[in-house]
Amino acid sequence: MTKTKTTSSRRSLAAGAIGNFGEIYDFAVFGFSIPILSVHFFPGSDRTAALLSTFAVYAVAFVARPLGGLMFGYLADRLGRIRVMAMTVWLMALGTAIIGLLPTYATIGIAAPLLLLLCRIAQGLALGGETTGSTSYIVESAPENRRGYWLGFTLIFSHLPNAVVAGLVVALQLGAGDQAYSDWAWRIPFLLGGIIGVVGFWLRRNIDEPEEYKQARQASKASKIKKNPLIAAIRCGGLRGMLHVFMVQPVFSVGAYLLLGFMYTFLIEVGKLDSTSALISNAIAVIVLSALLPLGGLLSDRFGRKRVLTFGAAWIALSAYPAMYLAASGSFASAVAGQTLLAAGLGIYGAASFVAAAEFFPTSFRATGHAISYQTSVAMFGGTCPLIAAYLSQAFGSPLAPAFYVTLIAVLCLITTQFVPETRGINLRTSVGNKASNKASELPQPQKTMRQELST
């Protein structure tokens, strides 16, 4: 690999990774702030009702994600991946920074939760476009036999912000004190999100479109057939790809958002851990999840997407109940063990599911098709997970009830995964729609070690 190509590859990885970090940081801040936001924006004597209201606002962003995905996915196919990645990072930064400046319910009454809701919708629209735009960009920029690894590597920065935010909140609580944190210091992480957005835009400003995307656009122009990406996604086999996404994505969405959006509150309310211990234990689990994502991607490049998805779904199904049981025990060590057990399965499954979801669609409407199906799936299963988990715990009178929900979704995905096509090494231009054009791509490729891959 030439020096120019090596530099370009590293810039591509850095652009996708750093942008993901900023986007997910903003989302994570809200998740870790749910207990304190419930106090300031939904005050009242019923603590459970306040938490459920805040979880509902948390879920609203996931309702906005499909709309943002559709809008920005369409633009990514028509205008390019880079322009959309710039738009989404600005929108997310703005929505997050404004939350840090909002007056509370005590100051402006019902307008406070309504403004919080609007900011959360902006975050949802932005993340809906960001996930699809950056995923398409990385998959199309990666070497054919390393798409899983490249995407797994950048996904580290889609999950690591949760651990960073947890550490930041702990530092603020210890540094400012519990009372000061409750009064005003909780705003600092939100304001930092705005700054991180500016940095993300700066890092993305000079990167180029993937060669795969540029060649697909040139081929489309040469054929003189201009297809609307949305219409193509519906008519040209895209509905099949969307169904495939719904067959593999839910288990990761449910498991990840149980860990990222629900577990911190669960550890405090049910496990009776102090907020610092809850944050640290959750951060450790998130680091484990993040560290295993490149491994999951590498394994999917070596053994195929379906084998890794099968193994990961089985792990999640078997570990959900023990994970929740340990987390509820009230011990810091058990909380770490339980969350790590679930995180390990999610890390293995995650990269394979993300790269397969992008590979189900051809380049001409990849972003549009992926956006509709992926964002809708995440909205249905991920965004509602903390709310459903909180409701199930209350309805069945058992804090372990959410574990059975995770297990059910994992078993269903374990079954449906067996019926999706294998996409390792598939031709991105045609995806699964043209078997003949993909035949050469299915030949075994020479493997590199992780050290060699990082060096290139």
| pLDDT, position 293 | 95
Six-digit token pair at 199? 């940095």
The model carries a pTM of: 0.80
Residues 6+ apart with CB under 8 A from 451: none
Q: How far apart are CA 384 and CA 124, in angstroms?
A: 13
Q: What is the pLDDT of residues 425-441, one digit of tens each?
A: 899 888 776 443 444 33
Count helices and strands in the chain by DSSP H and E runs: 22, 0
| pLDDT, position 251 | 96
Q: How far apart are CA 293 and CA 299, in angstroms?
A: 10
CB-count burial class (<10 Å; 0-12, 13-18, 19+) for 386:
buried
pLDDT category at 403 given cuts 50, 70, 90 is very high
DSSP state of 206: T
| pLDDT, position 445 | 42
Amino acid letter, 239: L
Q: Across the chain, what does the average pLDDT equal?
A: 83
CA distances from 374 to 317, 349, 393 (A): 21, 15, 27
Q: How far apart are CA 144 and CA 162, in angstroms?
A: 30
213 vs 407, higher pLDDT: 407
Q: How far apart are CA 430 and CA 427, in angstroms?
A: 6
42-46, 77-81, 337-341: the lowest-pLDDT one = 42-46
Q: How far apart are CA 135 and CA 312, in angstroms?
A: 21
Q: How far apart are CA 217 and CA 220, in angstroms?
A: 5
413-435: string of b/e by CB count within 10 Å (b at 16+)?
bbebbeebbebbbbbbbbbbbee
Q: How far apart are CA 22 and CA 154, in angstroms?
A: 12
Domains of the chain (ranges; CATH) run: 10-209+225-455 (1.20.1250.20)
| pLDDT, position 224 | 46
| pLDDT at 378 > cutoff 80 | yes
The percentage of the chain sitting over the pLDDT mark of 70, rounded to a whole number, equals: 87
| pLDDT, position 456 | 42
| pLDDT, position 438 | 46
3-state secondary structure 55-67: HHHHHHHHHHHHH
DSSP 327-339: HTTS-HHHHHHHH
CB-count burial class (<10 Å; 0-12, 13-18, 19+) for 109:
exposed
| pLDDT, position 8 | 58
Q: How far apart are CA 63 and CA 65, in angstroms?
A: 6
